[in-house]
Structure 1
């Protein structure tokens, strides 16, 4: 019987979140606590990478985190971004966020339709003369670099932010289930709660990479989202609660 769940996400701003509907329907308590947080690298760390931002004509963003940390770091470095700088992003939603920092002009904003890198790289390939700067986290893989190189695009990848473990509850006493959403979150709970290996507290997760990270740490995965039946975490969790709490 699942009575209390720890979820590695910020608490929803709206009471209309489906998580609260699940809590009411199945009589469970849902506690929200991010397992990781994102922080900028220091200006000293960035300078050590020997990357000259203004040597580039276009910036590529994969998330709102990337946008925030890019512009915040530019501010700290006192780098004034020219008005003719172009911006590329994985999705329209990400690129609309850029209005927080610069005026949104369609002639210099480009984004993919699917939210996937291979789609965006096809668009970037139509602008071969651009010199792309790709701000990334410290855990970025080689997949993006390989796609850019395959298209012979001039680009520089740089680390502008990192994920670090958040302060965690000292114990999982009272919890019946814990749900990380990212590989970094999976690592955080594996380090904080070795007791999860015994399976007494169930572990759910989002994404194949997160599931594999848990399994590599010796933690059994009781519920994995998304699935064919339920593409969202809340949908997957509802099916799980229906079966478990019957």
Structure 2
């Protein structure tokens, strides 16, 4: 299935099977299943990475007092889960006036699981890009102490660089790490027309399992600027990008792409 041929972008093919590099949604009401029915195709869910929480002992070695920060930056729901897990494990209460800056509205709304959600304390970018997040942070950065919660091996260097260049008072807080899953069996046993990635770690997992992987016409979807960058750096082509104004989620980006393919094949 995998050859040494040059990677080429996918064009005008009938999409039959899509690999989503995440766990299968818990709810049957997920929009992914609406997409599956609408376009009469098969979705396969398989997480390319697994996350391991950093222990409280490991976190204490970073010498971070969680109660000292007035603002927290989140770029994923996983970061939120591990932040509040760590707060509980090290027995630190978070001030009710803490501000939260999130990469998307969906990430921001996820905070409702842990806090009393108040719009004046939760901020998010307009379109899911780093730039829109920076625009929001820039309006509030005076006199704020930011805690950027991220993976030990996958922090966003663009965010770090922006915070440094704009003289923000900030600290990185590593609370989890990503570990590659063995995805070789699922890729060797199936022919996927589309593979969707959500993090740079997903790309790393692909190359860890299949160092000589070639695209060979498979369309690749990438969620987020950093994931797109990782795909390109791996020598692969991106056919589906999200979030963008016309497609704020991977589901909507896939729907848009599949509809365009249907029109081309009509």
Alignment match, 2:213: 196
Instruction: Give CA deviations for 1:84-104 in whole Å, capped at 9, x if unaligned.
Output: x41222255433332322333
Equivalent of residue 140 in structure 2, options 124, 139, 142: 124
The RMSD of aligned alpha carbons is 3.4
After superposition, the Cα gap between the structure-2 partners of 1:143 and 1:15, relative to the gap in structure 1 and judged at 3 Å, is: same
TM-score, normalised on structure 2? Answer: 0.72
Q: Distance in 1 between matches of 2:88 and 2:151?
A: 18
Q: Distance in 2 between matches of 1:86 and 1:179?
A: 38
5 Å-filtered alignment, 1:211-226, equals 211-218=228-235, 220-221=236-237, 223-226=239-242
How many residue pairs were aligned? 239
Structure 2: where are the runs of 5+ without partners? 1-13, 248-252
After superposition, the Cα gap between the structure-2 partners of 1:26 and 1:153, relative to the gap in structure 1 and judged at 3 Å, is: closer
Kept in 2: contact 1:225–1:236 (CA 8 A): no
After superposition, the Cα gap between the structure-2 partners of 1:177 and 1:63, relative to the gap in structure 1 and judged at 3 Å, is: same
Structure 1: where are the runs of 5+ without partners? none
Equivalent of residue 9 in structure 1, options 6, 22, 39: 22
**Between Structure 1 and Structure 2, whose CA radius of gyration is higher?**
1
Instruction: Give CA deviations for 1:185-208 in whole Å, capped at 9, x if unaligned.
Output: 122122223463272x72422256
Q: Distance in 2 between matches of 1:235 and 1:179?
A: 15
**1:174 offset after TM fit, Å?**
3.0
Kept in 2: contact 1:121–1:148 (CA 8 A): no
Equivalent of residue 205 in structure 1, options 221, 232, 237: 221
**Secondary structure, in 3 states, of the residue corresponding to 1:197?**
coil
**1:25 offset after TM fit, Å?**
5.8
Counterpart check, 1:164 vs 2:187 = no
**1:27 offset after TM fit, Å?**
4.8
Alignment match, 1:135: 149
After superposition, the Cα gap between the structure-2 partners of 1:205 and 1:53, relative to the gap in structure 1 and judged at 3 Å, is: same
**1:69 offset after TM fit, Å?**
0.8
Structure with the bigger RCO (C-alpha within 8 Å, sep 6+) is: 2
Instruction: Give CA deviations for 1:53-111 in whole Å, capped at 9, x if unaligned.
Output: 2232333333322221111011111223344x41222255433332322333456x141
Alignment match, 1:145: 160
TM-score, normalised on structure 1? Answer: 0.77
Instruction: Give CA deviations for 1:157-195 in whole Å, capped at 9, x if unaligned.
Output: 221222222353524223233513132212212222346
Counterpart check, 1:239 vs 2:251 = no
Q: Which runs of 4+ in 1 moved over 6 A?
A: none
**Secondary structure, in 3 states, of the residue corresponding to 1:66?**
helix
After superposition, the Cα gap between the structure-2 partners of 1:100 and 1:7, relative to the gap in structure 1 and judged at 3 Å, is: closer
Q: Distance in 2 between matches of 1:92 and 1:25?
A: 26
Alignment match, 1:73: 86
